[in-house]
Amino acid sequence: MRIANLEFENNVFLAPLAGVTDIAFRGICKRMGCGLVYTEMVSAKALYYNNDNTKSMLQFSEEEVPAAVQIFGSEPEVMARACDYFNDDPNICLVDINMGCPAPKIVKNGEGSALMKNTKLAAEIVRTVKRASVKPVTVKFRKGFDDNNINAIEFAKALEDAGVDAITIHGRTRQQMYEGKADWDIIRRVKEAIKIPVIGNGDVFTPEDAIRIVEETNCDGIMIGRGALGNPWIFRQIQQKLSGAPISYPMPKEVIDVCIEHFKRAVSYHGEHRAVREMRKHIAWYIKGLKNCTKIKNMINYEQQASKIINILEEYKEELTKI
């Protein structure tokens, strides 16, 4: 798959997920066969004001690069200034603009999916960022803001005219958040309406889903979000399905081993206190469906020390191996 001057090993990408797709997780997904990983969404205004916490989100590991950075905001010139941080960074291959985040605090500020209600401003953001960026510029957005404002096709055309290099469309409205079923037909209709690459997003949880979304929409790429939570193997499995090879599913021992590896990576990058807090949700996703997972999750949620959590997981692995 190509986006502007970039060519990727495959067309299955990791979605930018706030609080999830950090440096610790992205490297694992890349190793599992992900074609391109995206950072969590980064505030362009925070970069503009030189916020240290925001800049810390732009750290990359060797195994994941080159990666995509996703920014959000609503002021064209401020968005463009963010490119100063990316233009000379060889770890970053493209800049993605978030126009689909449904979070109330983002929408309240006129950012994320709120931009779907202001096509003129959205196009101006693209034009301004394109002038400032030496990297390709893409946009991720939704079907529309709500059921009364389904404007993905018109929105995509306006962004294409503004010079965007590719778009990702999530087949839900902002009103739906992540509920209900993703509308893949709107992805097909957008793909038919524009000439630039279209990446389909929404409800891809299995290799079979990946095949179907391509067949039903003719999208150029696939973006996996919630389907990768606790399941980075999905990238490898989709490649196996596409190539006709047998699909390999991880045994419980491998699931726990990768979970422990992820935890150790988080500790090394973020420190023990933050890693212990943030990895609780990841561990719950990894072990979901395994025998006695609720008991293990509750034990881990009470622990504050990384070494004790690792011991719980190691003992759990031994327990699962005996089953």
Which residues make Cβ contacts (< 8 Å) with residue 107, sequence separation at least 6? 101, 113, 114, 174
> What three-state secondary structure class fits 247?
coil
Q: Residues 69-95, buried b or exposed e (16+ Cβ, 10 A)?
A: bbbbbbbbebbbbbbebbeeeeebbbb
Tell me, yes or no, if 219 is annotated catalytic.
no
Output the CA torsion sign for 227, 232, 237, 238.
positive
On whether the CB atoms of residues 313 and 319 are closer than 8 A, the answer is no
CA gap 7, 321 in Å, rounded: 41
Structure token digits, residue 150: 């389904």
Using an 8 Å Cβ cutoff, are 149 and 170 in contact? no
Strands 92-99, 137-144: parallel, antiparallel or unpaired by DSSP? Answer: parallel
DSSP 8-state secondary structure symbol assigned to residue 229 = T
Based on its alpha-carbon atoms, the radius of gyration of the chain, rounded to whole angstroms, reads 20
d(CA 118, CA 112): 11
The answer to whether 225 and 210 have CB atoms below 8 angstroms apart is no
Of 29, 101, 219, 259, catalytic: 101
DSSP state of 110: T
Is-contact 95 83, C-beta < 8 A? Answer: yes
| Short-list 161, 46, 205, 50, CA closest to 111 | 46
Q: What are the catalytic residues?
A: 101
